[in-house]
Amino acid sequence: MKAAVIGTGEISVEHLRFLRDSSRAELVGVCDLSPASAAYASQRFGAGGAFTDYHEMLSKSSPQVVHILTPPQTHKQLVSDILNSGAHVICEKPLALNLGDFETLWSLANAKGRTLIEDHNYRFNKPILAIDKLIADGRLGKIHEVEVRLQLAIRSCGRFADRNLPSPVHGLPAGVIHDFITHLSYLALHYVPCGQRVAAAWSNHGGGDLFKYDDLDALIIGDGVHGRIRFTCHAGPDCFTVTVRGEKGYVHTDLFLPHLHLVVPRMGGAKLTPLVNQFVNGVGRIKASAVNFHRKLLQRTPYEGVVTFLDRTYAAIEKGTLLPVTYQDMKSTSELVDTLLHEDNAL
Ligand SMILES: NC(=O)c1ccc[n+]([C@@H]2O[C@H](COP(=O)([O-])OP(=O)(O)OC[C@H]3O[C@@H](n4cnc5c(N)ncnc54)[C@H](O)[C@@H]3O)[C@@H](O)[C@H]2O)c1
């Protein structure tokens, strides 16, 4: 399919690599407000053309699929314009800033008979797919708890800490955390059923006026499953961990340093199970450290799920089959973000 990209910043590298390497897509154009950035991306990934105006790109390149990879505040206008042009839309998270905007864009996509999908890439990282299989195989038993934790030292370094050139994400309703909240929400909702009770503590422990919040501690409870969402800039080191606990055992992973720590009933009965778990997980950690050292040398990012997400999305568009992220997935994620931000649920 003829594909184009709008926004050639940080995340575009993952999308452009897929578009360059996949037999499912032909990269007909890239667009960025910065001509240098568009030209560089076009040259690096072999695009058909480089543009600074997406209207011009749409009329000259006629893409069938457009990837929207611009800051969140721009998505509503861009998604509408692309759907109206007749192309399918793959949009970076958060697709919309609230549920109302999401529903408006979804209705437009339906009216135009086009696909609209939000990138939920971490759901397709290998450790999360492995946890899905453990749950499907009944290894953890009925699920009772999940904790999704993102620790990032973004106050002390990096582009979000830049006072002289503030990132546009500081202007989002939940500030910088809004840029990460989609990931935390769809991962929690992957294990916690709908109909939740929600309480959220939003804090700015570091103070000052650049960051609206720098910490979120939230509880979501649905159908007997407790979910906890944590975002902090203050605890170290950087990590993105997911822990899922069932009636038989639990599994833990860090998406920044992929491995699985699995504690479940093992051969040897109740007496030997704790020791077998310790031994198996110890060996697993040693192996994971070698694999992760290799990943570091190759400069692999934690965005590995983007490729699986995009490959499944293109396959579904081609064949008209179920998309890897459904309307219900996007709607419940957007709904949870609204609920977390609602003052009635503030702690
Ligand atoms: N899925 C993930 O894991 C992940 C990771 C990082 C960022 N993101 C998301 O991707 C999106 C982009 O983030 P980023 O970190 O790449 O941002 P970025 O600031 O690095 O890049 C955004 C680019 O969009 C361009 N742009 C803005 N408005 C434009 C317009 N109207 N036309 C053409 N170009 C325009 C800017 O010039 C900039 O180069 C955000 O929604 C962010 O939340 C997702």
Q: What is the three-state SS of the chain?
A: CEEEEECCCCCHHHHHHHHHHCCCCEEEEEECCCHHHHHHHHHHHCCCCEECCHHHHHHHHCCCEEEECCCHHHHHHHHHHHHHHCCEEEECCCCCCCHHHHHHHHHHHHHHCCCEEECCHHHHCHHHHHHHHHHHCCCCCCEEEEEEEEECCCCCCCHHHCCCCCCHHHHCCCHHHHHHHHHHHHHHHCCCCCCCEEEEEEECCCCCCCCCCCEEEEEEEECCEEEEEEEECCCCCCEEEEEEEECCCEEEEECCCCCCEEECCCCCHHHHHHHHHHHHHHHHHHHHHHHHHHHHHCCCCHHHHHHHHHHHHHHHHHHCCCCCCCHHHHHHHHHHHHHHHCHHHEC
Predicted local distance difference test score (pLDDT) of residue 149: 98
Give 166's pLDDT tier (boundaries 50, 70, 90): very high
Least confident of 45-49, 60-64, 193-197: 193-197
Give 151's pLDDT tier (boundaries 50, 70, 90): very high
Predicted local distance difference test score (pLDDT) of residue 193: 85
- Is residue 168's pLDDT more than 80? yes
Give 197's pLDDT tier (boundaries 50, 70, 90): very high
Read off the pLDDT of each residue in 64-73 and give the average, rounded to a whole number. 98
Residue nearest to atom 14 of ligand 1 (CA): 10
**pTM of the model as a whole:** 0.97
Residue nearest to atom 15 of ligand 1 (CA): 10
Q: How far is ligand 1, taken at its centre, from the CA of residue 199, in Å?
A: 30
Give 194's pLDDT tier (boundaries 50, 70, 90): confident
The finding on whether 245 has its CB within 6 A of some atom of ligand 1 is no
Residue nearest to atom 21 of ligand 1 (CA): 9
Give 186's pLDDT tier (boundaries 50, 70, 90): very high
Average pLDDT, the chain: 97
The finding on whether 14 has its CB within 6 A of some atom of ligand 1 is no
State which ligand 1 atom lies nearest to the alpha carbon of 75: 41
Predicted local distance difference test score (pLDDT) of residue 81: 98
Predicted local distance difference test score (pLDDT) of residue 196: 79
- Is residue 41's pLDDT more than 80? yes
Q: How far is ligand 1, taken at its centre, from the CA of residue 6, in Å?
A: 9
